[in-house]
Amino acid sequence: MTDLLRKPVAKTGKVHDITPASANWGYVGFGLYHLRPGESASEVTGETEVILVLVEGKATVSGGGKDFGELGDRMNVFEKKPPHCVYVPAGSDWSATATTDCVLAICTAPAMPGREAQKIGPEGIAYVQRGKDANTRYIYPIAMEDRDVADSLLVTEVFTPSGNWSSYPPHRHDEDNYPEMTYLEETYYHRLNPAQGFGFQRVFTEDGSLDETMAVSDGDVVLVPKGHHPCGAPYGYEMYYLNVMAGPLRKWRFQNHPDHDWIYQRDNPPS
């Protein structure tokens, strides 16, 4: 099994704990808790900022000295309701106590203290279509660069219909060369509907130094340290993923693979 594919380490508690050290990179961290009613999770943010995403279920959440009360109303991620999220700054802490079965994602990246803790969504997070035909997918841009809610983190959710492709045409953001491209590490937390399904993700560079194709199951995480990273959802199964990106600059600038950019150009002719 490639080291880019990370399986859950448990069924309950903290099932993913990906750090920059364990990923062998410099910026992105990703954790995931499965909590039963009454169970709690808490962490100190240290030198990272955090965006908590209630993927499923409800929990009372506090962080950065603020009590946000009970959050969440999406009991199954494929209900496609906008997510409830909380930003917690560096140099503070957070805690969450599940009031129902709960899946809580912990998105982290380096930051300096100083920002205020705040709730993100569900208000103001629009459900946006990207692509067309079998390249259609739907996005909840939780914390992209148009929202000044973080120093480093970029976070988004993507729903890919049965039989469709996503993160496609293949694109990369692995050079610190703004404005042409930004260096952004990225994690993909995958879910499938029905849950016994599978999907595919390929991570590859143009020079062939990295070329891994992975079958992803419900609950898996894929690391994207560099290169192109398209996903495919087989017929009969919807794919969801939660993306976490971070790098030296909080901007998302990418380039399509030169062999496949014609697809984008055909679908987006000059007006």
In this prediction, residue 270 carries a pLDDT of: 85
Residue 85 β-bridge partners: 53, 120
The Cα 56–Cα 73 span in angstroms is 8
The H or E element that residue 22 is part of is helix 20-23
The Cα 108–Cα 152 span in angstroms is 9
Per-residue pLDDT of the chain (271 residues; tens, 9 = 90+): 369 999 999 999 999 999 999 999 999 999 999 999 999 999 999 999 999 999 999 999 999 999 999 999 999 999 999 999 999 999 999 999 999 999 999 999 999 999 999 999 999 999 999 999 999 999 999 999 999 999 999 999 999 999 999 999 999 999 999 999 999 999 999 999 999 999 999 999 999 999 999 999 999 999 999 999 999 999 999 999 999 999 999 999 999 999 999 999 999 888 7
In this prediction, residue 2 carries a pLDDT of: 60
Domains of the chain as residue ranges with CATH: 5-267 (2.60.120.10)
In this prediction, residue 1 carries a pLDDT of: 37
- Going edge to edge, which strands form the sheet with 40-44? 40-44, 93-98, 59-63, 66-71
The Cα 180–Cα 160 span in angstroms is 27
The H or E element that residue 263 is part of is helix 261-267
Cβ atoms of 195 and 237 within 8 Å: the answer is no
The Cα 129–Cα 255 span in angstroms is 20
Phi-psi label, residue 34: left if phi above 0, alpha if psi -120 to 50, beta otherwise = beta
- Going edge to edge, which strands form the sheet with 102-110? 13-18, 29-35, 102-110, 48-56, 84-88, 118-120
The pTM of this model reads: 0.97
Sequence-distant (≥ 6) Cβ neighbours of residue 105 within 8 angstroms: 30, 31, 32, 52, 53, 55, 189, 242
